[in-house]
Structure 1
Amino acid sequence: MRSDMGETKKLNGRYRLLNPLGTGSVRLAFDEAEHRDVAVRRLRVPPELRDAALFEARRAAGLRHPFVVRVLDVVFEDHAPWLVMEFVSGTSLEQTVRSRRPLPVPQAARVGVCVLSALTAAHEAGIVHGRVDPGNVLLTTTGRALLSGFGFPSLSMLPSADLWSLAATLHYAVEGRPPGQVPAAGADPFRSLLRAMLHPSGPPPTEVVRETLDLLAVDRPLEAVIEGSGPLPPAQVAAIGLAVLDRLAELGEFHGGVQPGNILVDADGRARLTPLPRSGTLPAYTAPEGAVTQAADLWSLGATLFAAAEGRPPAPGASLTRAGTLAPVLFRLLSGDPLERPTLDEARLDLLAVVEQGGT
């Protein structure tokens, strides 16, 4: 964009417009007052929304957060408002997925942690973003995800709309497509979380979303641990079982989702049964009686520990070749008669004995 004199145009006599950034309407500019690169974007809104756009843009200029692309200034040029934004060196989530491939779940969860933190700060300031999408999430070379696109009219949207859009964005991150009418299936915690956030009845509480994303950003599902490392030592399997029992005791009712995909394991081997509502238990981990009881959860626990110790889910007549002293515990947990299975306390004592013996 040049004037009649052939000079590059300036906004407000200060921001010299340079080349477009990407394929969108954002341009690189140089702030001659602060001697820094900035990004600028013209707010193309109908005349009746211009006042609302200016109000939202000026409010956004007051938002400061490490995962937000800051709005630095709002100027009026060519009878239209322009946003002057912090220049961030990075690639949009949309471009990253298109040019490479969908993100691994831990990386997508880290993106979710960053964007949710930014949205929480905005909502606390009374600002609804209204335009959360893969094009407005920037991935930096340092591994951070920053949310851009603040300053546009939100058209009276509620904060819950931002959470729905966050879920749709994360769905795109791991599936390479928006959710449409049919979000991705899968019993793993990440996709279960996305389906819960996309449900017409509204998202789960923000704290539940945050807790699960935090866990998924650093921990791996037990099924991924088994797939990557093979069968685990019996003592380690027993320790995982103890952690799941603690969660079941805390819950005090039927969980219905005890299976390797719903158990997260951290770098130190500590396990945790995720708290989110599930879409159900996979057939290989569903108790034969199909009841909604803690005894059914215990059968699912037995099947999960079988898979961890043997590297495969149980099947009729399957032998135990690696379970060692864990084998008798598994036989009791996997009894076809719910009355013959141990109670939570009995199972805890059995598993503690395996841990203390070292699983040999």
Structure 2
Amino acid sequence: MGESRKLAGRYRLLNPLAAGSVRLAFDESEHRDVTVRELRVPAELRDAALQEAHRAAGLRHASIVRVLDVVIEDQTPWLVMEFVSGASLEQTVRARGPLPVAQAARVGVCVLSALTTAHEAGIVHGRVEPGNVLLTPTGRAVLTGFGFPSLSMLPSADLWALAATLHFAVEGRPPGQVPAQGADPLRTLIRAMLHPAGPPATDVIRETLELLAVSRPLDVIIGLFGPLPIPVVAAMGLALIEQLQAREAFHGGIQPGNVLIDDRGRAHLTPLLRSGTLPAYTAPEASATLAADLWSLGATLFTAVEGVPPSPGAPLTRAGALAPVLFRLLSGNPLERPTPDELRRDLQSVRSTH
């Protein structure tokens, strides 16, 4: 293929990109760089592929590489796409190693938003993979590869592929038969999305990724900085009890790894994603009740203020005015634990006195 060749009399082909499957080109009509890709499909799928490509050209989203044109040259269809400067997720991880959790979560936010827009338009991507996720110099992730036949895949297939892509982002390898273990929220979310029973609701996935993109888990913060001040822990408890009551359902996974602290210091409780609760944060009665959630909340606040999870006979050396509150929350008798309203009153009192 000569360097001077043009498609449709306007797209001058330049150098290959992405191992030769995509070429840089110059649109002489609009005076801009574009990328072009030959749409290689079996003859029997050609009409369906062209229809899919034209539908993809209607997608508009900041994290979607736009299909600008679909041209036929010598009976061969070509996709003309927006040029985006950046390296693929695959290239980035292979060159620099796995991404930090927050950066991987930001990638997930962008790609999930792009997929949601496509799914609402009735389009399944079908090719979500690290090589089709581009990371721009500004930190935005964009999804390319639209316009190819999806072979009647369901939207859930895109969510599974997104999970596998995020797994590659944080582990440097595909999930294979054994996805990465770990109690942190991102790996827990990835495992839930890869589960044979199907992914969690899209809203749950989005909420978790958005929190992880700007927040750090409480257990990481404790590991870095040690026990937290009493008023900070009291404020955390107030935020968590508010969110717990808003759920109006048993959570079952309240523990430091599922509590995210954002850049303003506010605590957020992530949804439970099939991970269960670690033994140190499981109420002794192990029942699916609000009282059990309150015990787990008490164990989490204990860890935040003391730096270690509770254990039988463990002393409270740093809790100060929080100590009576924690004793009640961690009672072995569910009837002796405070109600949410009582807990809120007690935590407000502790916070106001410090």
- Same fold by TM-score greater than 0.5: yes
The whole-number CA distance in structure 1 between the counterparts of 2:203 and 2:288 is 27
Is 1:39 aligned with 2:25? no
Distance 1:339 1:134, change over 3 A: same
Relative to the length of structure 1, the TM-score reads 0.93
The match for 1:207 among 196, 203, 220 is 203
Alpha-carbon shift at residue 24 of structure 1 (Å): 4.4
The match for 2:110 among 110, 114, 135 is 114
Alpha-carbon shift at residue 93 of structure 1 (Å): 0.7
The match for 1:231 among 224, 227, 230 is 227
| Counterpart contact for 1:95–1:135, Cα < 8 Å | yes
Is 1:284 aligned with 2:280? yes
Partner in structure 1 of residue 303 of structure 2: 307
The whole-number CA distance in structure 1 between the counterparts of 2:33 and 2:250 is 56
Alpha-carbon shift at residue 28 of structure 1 (Å): 1.1
SS in 1 for 2:147: coil
**Alignment of structure 1 residues 1-360 onto 2, 5 Å:** 1-2=1-2, 8-358=4-354
Alpha-carbon shift at residue 356 of structure 1 (Å): 1.1
The whole-number CA distance in structure 2 between the counterparts of 1:272 and 1:144 is 24
Distance 1:317 1:121, change over 3 A: same
The whole-number CA distance in structure 2 between the counterparts of 1:291 and 1:62 is 50
Q: Say how many residue pairs are matched.
A: 354
| Counterpart contact for 1:92–1:135, Cα < 8 Å | yes
| Counterpart contact for 2:227–2:305, Cα < 8 Å | yes
Query: What is the CA deviation profile of residues 213-261 of structure 1, one whole-angstrom value per residue up to 9, with x for unaligned ones?
Result: 2222112221122122221111110111122222222334432101011
SS in 2 for 1:245: helix
Query: What is the CA deviation profile of residues 286-335 of structure 1, one whole-angstrom value per residue up to 9, with x for unaligned ones?
Result: 22333333222222112111111122212333322221111222222222
Alignment root-mean-square deviation, CA: 1.7
| Counterpart contact for 1:112–1:213, Cα < 8 Å | yes
SS in 2 for 1:231: coil
Alpha-carbon shift at residue 182 of structure 1 (Å): 2.5
SS in 1 for 2:19: coil
The whole-number CA distance in structure 1 between the counterparts of 2:328 and 2:159 is 43
SS in 1 for 2:18: coil
| Counterpart contact for 2:200–2:273, Cα < 8 Å | no
The whole-number CA distance in structure 1 between the counterparts of 2:69 and 2:333 is 69
Query: What is the CA deviation profile of residues 67-115 of structure 1, one whole-angstrom value per residue up to 9, with x for unaligned ones?
Result: 1111111112243111111111101011111111111221111111111
| Counterpart contact for 1:132–1:169, Cα < 8 Å | yes
